[in-house]
């Protein structure tokens, strides 16, 4: 069947969108990739699946929420949207605004967003404001601007964002025939863990799945307000996507954790980078550092003895590795530079 994007495919689960207002890049329908080699190394006896959200149109899960938020903005007659972002939301907002014929304004923390994401916001013609502050500062600003001026806020405080992002959970259930034992994901502004849990509950309520997963969320140690129980004034982490000190969906993330019998923990930058390389090298799947926090979390949980034989574990890999080429290069062995000479080439290749 021809894929029509999440709004049309999962229409019965969403607020109705007038058909002529649907703004879509045919997001969703991303692969759920089995990761047997990774499972053997990090959690033997379990089945691990990677929900590879990097294959969305702008390279992250944000497209699922943005198609809903921008479509509803269009339905309400808006001609511009605004967001704060650590990068991926701005990329999605810029692209969907372009698609809708709207203006996008994006506020990003200066110097702290991955190169690919910045290039996306720019090429789609968004007006980009680099704030000399962090994501939390930018989010307060856009909330205030959107209250006072005629521009629609498309951060995840916009409920249509969360609604659209529920579709990730629907797709996991459709692929597996049921919910997994555990659903693992990185936590930044905490919208996605909120959305996945809402999606799993909605599917369960209508009998599309027999069980509910335990939700396992992972923050970076330097940006772990939920774990530490207080806002972090100066969040830091190599995983810039989740460099957030005061998440908008804090309470609903805690509810997802508690209702599902799950947990929200933290992993160090070193653990994130190790997981980032491991999934790329063992499975051929390239995600950005923030996404790898989910894998790092599985490694940590596995060491603590959380998993049992036969458990199914789904990790959302939230963004594509190409978003952040600088980190990929920094974490890898540098290429060898050499003359175009057969003897030297075969020697370096180890054949002579």
Our finding on whether 164 is near ligand AN7 (CB under 6 A) is: no
- Please list, residue by residue across 32-59, b when 16 or more beta carbons sit within 10 angstroms of its beta carbon and e when fewer do: bbebeebbeebbeebbbbbbbbbbbbbb
Cα(251)–Cα(292) distance, integer angstroms: 24
CB 346 to ligand AN7: min, Å: 41
Tell me the closest approach of the beta carbon of residue 264 to ligand AN7, in angstroms. Answer: 10
Q: Is 60 in the site for ligand AN7 (CB under 6 A)?
A: yes
Q: Does 116 bind ligand AN7 (CB under 6 A)?
A: no
Q: C-beta of 315: minimal distance to ligand AN7 in Å?
A: 11
Out of 164, 191, 199, 225, which residue is the one contacting ligand AN7 (CB under 6 A)? 191
DSSP string spanning 202-216? HHHHTTS-S--PEEE
Residue 296, H or E segment = helix 289-303
By CB under 6 A, residue 89 contacts ligand AN7: yes
Task: Choose which of 58, 67, 86, 152 interacts with ligand AN7 (CB under 6 A).
Answer: 86
CB of 333 to ligand AN7, least distance (A): 25
Instruction: Give the separation between CA 221 and CA 244, rounded to whole angstroms.
Output: 11
Q: How far is the CB of 284 from ligand AN7 (least distance, A)?
A: 19
Pick between residue 156 and residue 301 the one whose CB is nearest to ligand AN7: 156
Smaller CB separation from ligand AN7, 191 or 245: 191
For the chain, how far is it from start to end, CA to CA, in angstroms?
Answer: 53
Q: Which residues contact 310 (CB under 8 A, 6 or more apart)?
A: 45, 46, 47
Do residues 38 and 279 lie in contact, with contact meaning Cβ atoms separated by under 8 Å? yes
How big is the site for ligand AN7, counted in residues (CB under 6 A)?
A: 21
Residue from the set 88, 146, 302, 312 that interacts with ligand AN7 by CB under 6 A: 88
- Which CB, 191 or 213, lies closer to ligand AN7? 191
Comparison of 71 and 86: residue with beta carbon closer to ligand AN7: 86
Q: Which of residues 283-342 bind ligand AN7 (CB under 6 A)?
A: 288, 290-291, 318-319
Q: x/- site string to ligand AN7, residues 193 to 232, per CB under 6 A?
A: ----------------------------------------
Q: Which residues of 282-293 are buried (b: 16+ CB within 10 A; e: fewer)?
A: bbebbbbbbbbb
Nearer to ligand AN7, 61 or 182 (CB): 61
CA atoms of 96 and 323, how far apart (whole Å): 18
Looking at residue 320, the DSSP 8-state letter turns out to be B
Stretch near ligand AN7 under the rule CB under 6 A, chosen from 10-18, 87-95, 126-134, 261-269? 87-95
CA–CA separation, 220 and 95 (whole Å): 28
Where are the strands (E) in the chain, listed by range?
32-34, 47-52, 80-84, 103-109, 127-131, 152-153, 182-186, 214-220, 263-267, 312-317
Q: Which stretch binds ligand AN7 (CB under 6 A): 144-152, 182-190, 202-210, 260-268?
A: 182-190
Alpha carbons 92 and 40: distance in angstroms, whole number:
35
Asked if 28 touches ligand AN7 (CB under 6 A), the answer is no
Chain residues binding ligand AN7 by CB under 6 A are: 60, 62, 85-89, 186-192, 241-242, 288, 290-291, 318-319
């Amino acid at each position: 069947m021809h894929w029509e994007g999440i709004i049309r495919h999962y229409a019965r689960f969403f607020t109705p969108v007038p058909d002529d207002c649907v703004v879509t890049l045919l997001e969703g329908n991303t692969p759920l990739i089995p990761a047997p080699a990774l499972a053997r190394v990090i959690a033997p006896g379990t089945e691990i699946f990677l929900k590879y959200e990097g294959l969305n149109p702008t390279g992250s899960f944000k497209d699922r929420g943005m198609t809903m938020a921008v479509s509803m903005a269009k339905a309400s007659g808006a001609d511009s949207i605004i967001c704060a972002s650590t990068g991926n939301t701005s990329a999605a907002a810029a692209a969907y605004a372009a698609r809708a014929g709207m203006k996008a304004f994006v506020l990003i923390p200066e110097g702290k967003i991955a190169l690919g994401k910045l290039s996306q916001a720019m090429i789609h013609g968004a007006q980009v404001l680099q704030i000399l502050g962090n994501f939390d500062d930018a989010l307060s600003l856009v909330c205030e601007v959107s209250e006072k001026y005629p521009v629609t806020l498309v951060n995840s405080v916009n409920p249509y964002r969360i609604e659209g992002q529920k579709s990730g959970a629907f797709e996991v259930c459709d692929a597996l025939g049921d919910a997994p034992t555990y659903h693992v994901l990185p936590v930044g502004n905490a919208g996605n863990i909120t959305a996945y849990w809402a999606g799993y509950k909605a599917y369960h309520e209508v009998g599309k799945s027999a069980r509910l997963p335990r939700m396992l969320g992972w923050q970076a140690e330097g940006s772990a307000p939920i774990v530490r129980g207080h806002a972090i004034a100066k969040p830091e982490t190599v995983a810039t996507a989740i460099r957030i000190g005061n998440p908008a969906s804090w309470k609903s993330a805690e509810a997802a954790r508690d209702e599902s019998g799950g947990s929200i923990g933290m992993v160090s930058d070193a653990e994130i980078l190790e997981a980032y390389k491991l999934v790329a090298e063992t499975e051929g799947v390239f995600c950005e550092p923030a996404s790898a926090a989910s894998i790092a979390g599985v490694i940590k949980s596995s060491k603590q003895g959380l998993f049992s034989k036969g458990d199914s574990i789904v990790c959302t890999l939230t963004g594509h590795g190409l978003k952040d080429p600088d980190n990929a290069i920094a974490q890898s062995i540098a290429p060898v530079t050499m003359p175009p000479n057969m003897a030297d080439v075969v020697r370096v290749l180890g054949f002579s």
